[in-house]
Amino acid sequence: MAPIPVALCGKNPNMASRFTDAMNDEFHVTHVFTSVGAVSHELPALLKGQSIKPSSGLGSNCHSEKSQAPRAIIVGAGFSRSELDEMRKFEGCKDIPWLYPDPTKMAGTGFRALFGGDFMTSVVNRAKSTMREHGLEEGKEDQVKPDVWGF
């Protein structure tokens, strides 16, 4: 089973790196965006099949000759809802699912563990679970309804 490529919008490079490392089996992070500007310049090109390296220096697209387009975009809590809405307006960006933190689902994460391994494991597990719940799985990526999914 090949991992499904996803992208991450994470403003904190350290947390983005930890998230990328923890997302290691059925999904993998191909590209990390650390700003709305990076999304505007890089994501539309990726979605058109162009090879582009992440300006963040994070994600598997850094190390491969041909970039992989993501099948979903996971957005970290450092991005506001208005930034999410702005990013989804860029060319091609409404055609794929976006995951955005849902405060009602974050309670189980435990903010006390913010900088511990348990926190990132919990965030990654919530993201994976949400993608599975919406049917994002190998061989069915094209059947997924693009929308914003709370995780």
Q: Which CATH number fits the domain that encloses residue 63?
A: 3.40.50
Given a contact cutoff of 8 angstroms between Cβ atoms, the answer to whether 137 and 4 are in contact is yes
* β 98-100/73-75 pair status: parallel
Structure-model confidence comparison of residues 108 and 53, the more confident one: 53
pLDDT reported for residue 111: 53
High-pLDDT (> 70) share of the chain, %: 93
Name the domain count of the chain: 1
Number of Cβ atoms within 10 Å of the Cβ of 23: 21
**Rounded CA gap, 88 and 51, in Å?**
20
Q: Does residue 7 surpass a pLDDT of 80? A: yes
Could you list the residue range(s) of the whole structural domain that residue 86 is in?
A: 4-150
User: What is the average pLDDT across 101-108?
Assistant: 81
Which DSSP letter does residue 48 get? Answer: T
Mean per-residue pLDDT over the chain, rounded: 92
